[in-house]
Amino acid sequence: MTTVRVRSATAADVPLMHALILELADYERLRHEVWATEHDLARALFGDDSGRAACAEGLIGEVDGEPQGCAIFFTTYSTFVGKPGLWLEDLFVLPAARGRGLGAAMLRRLARLAAERNYGRVDWAVLDWNESAIGFYRGLGARVLDEWRICRLDGEALAAQAAKG
């Protein structure tokens, strides 16, 4: 019988999580956009000695005791709901472990965390071509908000706007 377990990430999980992020980027055809190092990820999840606080959290998903996926998320705020929420930045399960309930277990854990913290919702983005993920999310009861588009200010455009400030 398959055992699925979701646990909070520890500092020792950073190399694994970074490797999973790279696999996710390959799957999404976005590897060229990954600049984050293990050090960057460790600082984001656990803070650092300079006093920089953690700004994200992580989960590790295991199947039969072996790490097979991860989720990385952080707190947001909705002015419409009037409460914080969780933004799921990454959810990834290795291909060999898919279909065993690990992705659903990680999303259930996020839902429990949001409920325990009295947060109003969990949000995330999905690539429009990723029909299997869209179907998976809809199967869990998630709404796919087709009318919204993600906007991003980064790189030279970010620097240019910051310089005007």
Q: Which residues are catalytic?
A: 137
Of 36, 37, 35, 56, nearest to 45 (Cα)?
56
Tokens 């293990």: give the residue: 38
Angle between helices 38-46 and 14-27 (to 10 degrees): 110
Of 34, 4, 1, 3, nearest to 19 (Cα)?
34
**Cα distance between residue 109 and residue 39, in whole Å:** 26
Q: Which two tokens stand for residue 34?
A: 């990954």
Q: Which two tokens stand for residue 79?
A: 């002015």
**Cα distance between residue 153 and residue 165, in whole Å:** 14
**Cα distance between residue 121 and residue 78, in whole Å:** 9
